[in-house]
A and B are shown apart, each in its own frame.
Chain A
Amino acid sequence: MTNIVYQLLDDLSQDGMDADHIAETPDIQPKLKYQPLDDLPHDKPDRLDAAHIAETREVLRSQLEAAIQKNNDKPLCSLILNRVKSVKRWHKLSADKTFLATLKALLRNRKRLSNPAIRIGLFGGLGQGKTSALVQATRNLTKPQSSFCFWKQKNAPVRSYWFDAAHYKADELEFEFDRIFSSWGMWARSSLINVVGFLLLLQIVIEFAIASFGDPKLAIFIALRFLPLGLVTGILGFRFLPFWLRDLERGNAFVDQNRAITRLFCRPDIFIVDNLDRANINQQVAILRALYKHSQALSTAFIICMDESSLLQSAITPEHPAKLLRKVINVELRLPARLPQDAPVLCQAILSKSLERNPKLSMLDDPVFAGDFATLVSLLPEFSPRIAKRILNDALVDAQKANLLNYAEDCGALLRLHMLYAAFPGLQQASLLLIRILECKEEQEQKRLITVLSEESKYEQSKLLRLINASHYVQPLAGNWKRLIGVHSHHQMTGGARALIKASPSIENQEMAQGLWESLNAILQGYGETELWKWYEDYCKSSTEFLPVVIWPMLVVMLAHSEQVEARLRLLRYYQKTLTVYESKLSDNKRHAHLHYALLRYWLADHQAFLSMPEQERTALVASIGALNDERKVYLLPIIDPAHVDFATVFELLAGHPSKDHRVIRNWLNQVSMNYSIENSYLGFDGSDAFLAAIWPTLPGDCLARGWDGKLKEQFMLFKKLNELSLLNSAPNSLVSSLFTEGNWRRLIAHDKAEQLLHSLQILLNFENRWSLKTWHLLFSTLSKEEKRKLVSDLIKAASSQKNSLWSAALLMACDANDEECIAILLKSVKALDSVGLVKLLIDPYGSGEYLLWTLASGEQIKPLLSALVAPSKNEWQQFKHEYNNQLTSCFSKCEDGAMLLEYFDLTIDFGEVNGGF
């Protein structure tokens, strides 16, 4: 069955993709599987498994007693224990009597013997773990029984009856509820009815036989012969009732009636009404009233599990729900609100449970992932075991689909995604915007986008901003969120989760976790460092898992929740120190390296903390990148902000070369991509793109080509920076295409955004290969002649104070637009052509005929334009002259006084063939 489910998941995940393509893709790594946790209530009590209950009975009793001694104010424990005591008396009574005598005594003395019924209300939000808590509380309760009781086994459990309101149809709920009680209330009557009914049936059969055969003896004989047969057939019929009759069976509740007969003699000690909030308000009220009524007649403890909020909000008259609850509920228990510090324990428990099921999934054991998980869960406004498990399930199923189960960071990123979805359920519909927000590095732009999203989807803006900022450090490979969101939107896994009460083996108990949290908090506040060392001394000796598994997730959660920069920095420094001190004690070196990496990742991502550090310390921190392995380094790249960290240094470290040569870094990136099978599509098209993709991953991506203003801004900033550092010496394809494709320029021209256009043009013009034919071809081919003309006139208007290169660009465009007037103006403005590349473009346009420039310009005008090129870089010019001799001659020949140019630039004349024919 499970296999079928997996198959289904796989099928669904591949739905809509090219099946052949998948079949051909070689599996680089074996595909890991994740088995999702189920939503079944944890260890549903099996009332027949008496042996198991007997085994755990003593343990629980002692635990309960201990708990009561410790917490006298905890009502649930004491009440249950009281019940246990009262049940003891009940059994004492029945000790030396026969079944019937006991029954009689019970009937006679029921009211006298029983305690007054107790009605306990267990309240809590959806998925907070009410049922699980209850299951755990009741499963191990057994009746203390000293003597033999023939219809009950020794060490019989406390009987509990679960009435799950969610199991009944709306129109049957009240009826069923009443029927259960009436069967207990009128057990004698119902038995009598059963006997009378049987006799009547017999009589009918006999009467019928007499009428048929005439002979009473024969009729009785035949009736008696056939009656058992009919009964057997009937019973078998019940057993193997066809499926389509289920509804009928359910409606008549035959099965329940049968059980009710058994239960006649086994009235429950605890009656549990679960999921009452699933019924409608009127039914809730009716059931509460019925409970109140029946509890007067029965000596049973009632436990009502519900989320009372909707009931309280309703306006039921004449009795207000609050009053009704006050009347019905004797004791109110409420599941405590969860605090951030509960998250590490809960998540650790869930992870260890998950690891039990998926022992091969080492990623679950990774402190990086554990930390991310705990932080993300703790960030949710109201987290619960169910939601935590669901997030984990969803994220890991997605990860399995994308074959990312090996990568803790990617799984973490998926967790982040699902955390956001859990907090803002409509986000799936706005995934495109979400990608932009997650990938955006510029704070202002991010804020703007969040405002847009909040307005669109009516989310609380500050809440969304906080969630995104606090989990900022969780990033996927190359910051590529598109891939992850793509996986998700393809198939949404709605795996549920149930509460996990069992603590992880690494965290011995809640108390210890609480203590640790407090100690860490003390450090965060700036005091009590020594206290924690005590913990370390105790625990690090016993377990090497202490630092990675217990402390790290707590630390990350605390960091994510602390607003003060200094406090965060203090904590980060402290953990770094701890790692150094316990280096020798951590025998598992791999994990230790993971921890260093996890710390570094958080630290670098926390820009505020990073900036508040002294320069020296900052340099040291950045230097520690060098010690990581290559794969980890690539993950760090998108986290590093070029505005805060000296990129040149970072790249030196990354490439492991004391060189600022971008080629070394490119080679390194290529190497890494090959070693770790990072898809080439990530790393763009050429070297510069590969380089960019690693730093600013979304840049070469298609989202840029969509022409988002914010993206362009981001891009400009980055290029400027990189250009200043001389790390990119050529304009990458992605820049050119993002500027020029999809009508970006056209759009800018249409919206009169000449300034922005100039800005982008200037960035392009900063690159050495700014005059590459490829670049300008891309530009020119996307614009029409009219658009080019408009662009040129805009440039002329705006370019008065601009650099000469801008004038040159305008000239080139004017030539391409065939605009005589502009060419004439620009010939006066352009002082000199600054690059041989530009001359190449001007003399050798791609197949559009020679430019008007040469016809319009005189030799005297052309000479100064080119003279700058001849003087300083003679070699380049000579090479160019040699290569483009003929084109230059052709162009000069069109100029007025072209011969002077020929002489001045000393061109070789190629006369071609003398003969025009053959």
Chain B
Amino acid sequence: MVVSEFYLDRLNLVAQASPSFRQRAVQTLYGRGSTIESKNRALRDIYHLFKGDWSEQLEWRFTKINDLVKQSDNEHPPAQIDEDNWSKLLNEIDQAKQKTYVDFEDLKNKCPVFHDGQEYMDWFLLYLPYLVLDLQPNPEDWKEARSRLDWFLEQVPVDEGCPVEILEDLALLHMDSWYVLNK
């Protein structure tokens, strides 16, 4: 994922502020982003802002959320960070861990059964980053990404509220954007 510069600027600014301001400012970051990738990234940034060791790391694999929290973190919050805020964050991270799969194969294996089109669509949008996870922007991997997409589209339940064409377009857009930005 390419992280937005605007986002990084703001984080940079907040990182310079006092812990109390940081706590207030990050409240808007919870749940930010539509995909599991950006949601996890936001949680990672909040975690580091709280810890006071935030750095402008551009590349960060979102599945690493599982290794983000150290054992010692659960014991006491970082200096000058409110306990409630800290436990809220840990809670959020915990929930995110449960939603995060290790790789595409893992996602495939743990794919749930969808009852209607809406449910599928939410799931589809959330896990869109798995289309290109662990792939490189080259023609071979593009084929792989395409086949992953085909798998995704196979899961679409028969429902008028979930047109396959639109989902396909969205996915292709995501893939194009990844291909261009990472090449």
Contacts and interface: CB of A to CB of B under 8 A. Distances in A.
B28 A911 contact: yes
A911 B180 CA distance: 24
A918 B174 contact: yes
B17 A903 contact: yes
A614 interface: no
Contacts of A911: 6-7, 10-11, 28-29, 32, 42
Nearest to B32: A914
A898 B1 CA distance: 28
A835 B28 CA distance: 30
Interface string A427-468: 000000000000000000000000000000000000000000
B163 interface: no
A280 to B, nearest CB: 95
A29 interface: no
Interface in B1-57: 1-7, 9-18, 21, 25, 28-29, 32-33, 35, 37-38, 41-42
B21 A903 contact: yes
A910 B178 CA distance: 25
B13 A889 contact: yes
Contacts, number: 85
B14 A914 contact: no
A911 B7 CA distance: 5
A909 B28 CA distance: 8
B28 A917 contact: no
Nearest to A912: B6
B181 interface: yes
A915 B4 contact: yes
Interface in A879-918: 889, 892-893, 898-900, 902-903, 908-918
Contact of A899 (B3, B13, B35): B13
Given A908-B28, A909-B28, A915 B35 contact: yes
A902 B6 CA distance: 16
Contacts of B33: 913-915
Nearest to A893: B13
A898 B178 CA distance: 33
A899 B38 CA distance: 25
Given A909-B25, A918-B174, A899 B4 contact: no
15 contacts: A892-B13, A898-B16, A902-B21, A909-B10, A911-B29, A913-B7, A913-B33, A914-B7, A914-B32, A915-B33, A915-B35, A916-B1, A916-B2, A917-B180, A918-B176
Nearest to A892: B13
Given A903-B21, A908-B28, A917-B177, A893 B10 contact: yes
Q: Top 7 nearest A-B pairs by Cβ distance?
A: A918-B177, A899-B16, A916-B4, A914-B38, A899-B17, A917-B177, A916-B2
Interface string B150-165: 0000000000000000
Contacts of A908: 25, 28
A915 B40 CA distance: 11
Contacts of A899: 13-17, 21
Nearest to A907: B25
A898 to B, nearest CB: 6
A914 B42 contact: yes
Contacts of B14: 899, 902, 909
Nearest to B180: A917
B115 to A, nearest CB: 28
Q: Which of B13, B18, B33, B38 has the most CB of A within 10 A?
A: B13
B69 interface: no
A903 B41 CA distance: 24
B100 to A, nearest CB: 16
